[in-house]
Amino acid sequence: MAEGGIDIRPVDQFIVKPLFGGDVVNWYTPTNVTLWMALTVLAATALMVYGARGRAVIPSRAQSMAELSYSFIYKMVEDVAGRDAIRFFPYIMTIFLFVLFANLLGLIPFAFTTTSHIAVTAVLALTVFISVTALGFVLHGAKFLKLFWVDSAPLPLRPILAVIELLSYFVRPVSHSIRLAGALMAGHAVAKVFAGFAAALGAAFFIPVLAVTALYALELLVAVIQAYVFTILSCIYLKDALHPAH
């Protein structure tokens, strides 16, 4: 990193910094996390409230997008988790819009990507995990444990399968959160590395610039797909809580 003139710091973009100076990051300090999460909420509100303000039968473009997002997630909840999961639709919609806009806003140059932090995605994933598990026990009591007892398997195999099922159940929040944070962090770090090359290569700058352009398009796709994946996994976990039988 230190050799030559090349000084690329691909992970500096992830540093949490207080907004108004100082070095101490207390739990209440307004930081760049605060700023970009506020912008995420604002952007989601702009689409879903301001965009749909016309309440028109023939929608405007913004209203059309808001309705499309609504119908998309509504259908996802209905198809994946079942009709009785519709009451949790606002939670799922909140998760989807938050992750989607955090991912998309993070693609703005010099932006801070809140969803690239494992702390954020882990809290999101653990919230889903804990509430879904609690819901499963509240709705089904001890029968919820049948989720881990595969009735269709031969009896001797069932304890082994139960252990595997239990392990995979507890790995869920880990994979759920690391998938999102990892995908975004990796993409942003790679983009930064290529951008650093562009500054260092001089006349051949266009090669990394083209690479960054292509990567940016890919990152746009990743941002949307990761939001989609995070949401649909939440729906699948919700389905397990509502219908634990295999």
Partner 1 sequence: MEEPDVTAPGMPQLDFSTYPNQIFWLVVSIVVLYLILSRTALPRIAAVLADRRGTITNDIAAAEDAKAKAAEAEEAHKQALADARAETNRIIEAARQEIQAELDAQMAEAEAEIAARAAESEARIRAIRDSARDMVAEVARDTTREVLHLFDVKADARSVTAAVNARLKAEGGAQ
Residues within the interface to partner 1 (CB under 8 A) = 9, 11-12, 14-16, 25-29, 31, 33-34, 37-38, 40-41, 44-45, 48-49, 52, 55-57, 59, 63, 66-67, 70-71, 89-91, 93-95, 97-98, 114, 116-120, 123-124, 181, 185
Q: Which is nearer to partner 1, 158 or 196 (CB)?
A: 196
The C-alpha atoms of residue 9 and residue 172 are separated, in whole angstroms, by 32
With beta carbons less than 8 A apart as the criterion, state whether 80 and 235 touch.
yes
With beta carbons less than 8 A apart as the criterion, state whether 88 and 81 touch.
yes
The C-alpha atoms of residue 200 and residue 208 are separated, in whole angstroms, by 10
**Min dist. Cβ of residue 58 to partner 1 (A):** 8
b/e code 148-177 from CB counts within 10 Å (16+ = b): bebeeeeeeebeeebeebeeeeeebbeebb
Q: Which is nearer to partner 1, 82 or 182 (CB)?
A: 182
Q: Which is nearer to partner 1, 181 or 227 (CB)?
A: 181
**Min dist. Cβ of residue 147 to partner 1 (A):** 27
Q: Which is nearer to partner 1, 97 or 104 (CB)?
A: 97
Residue 243's identity, in one-letter code, is H
What are the tokens at 57?
A: 């039968």
**Min dist. Cβ of residue 89 to partner 1 (A):** 7
Q: Which is nearer to partner 1, 65 or 162 (CB)?
A: 65
Q: Which is nearer to partner 1, 69 or 133 (CB)?
A: 69
Is the C-alpha dihedral spanning 47, 48, 50, 51 positive or negative?
A: positive
What are the tokens at 31?
A: 């930081």
Q: Which is nearer to partner 1, 119 or 167 (CB)?
A: 119
SS3 18: strand
Residue 116's identity, in one-letter code, is S
How many separate helices (H) and strands (E) can be counted in the chain? 6, 0
Q: Under the phi-then-psi rule, with left for phi > 0, alpha for psi from -120 to 50, and beta for the rest, what region is 11?
A: alpha
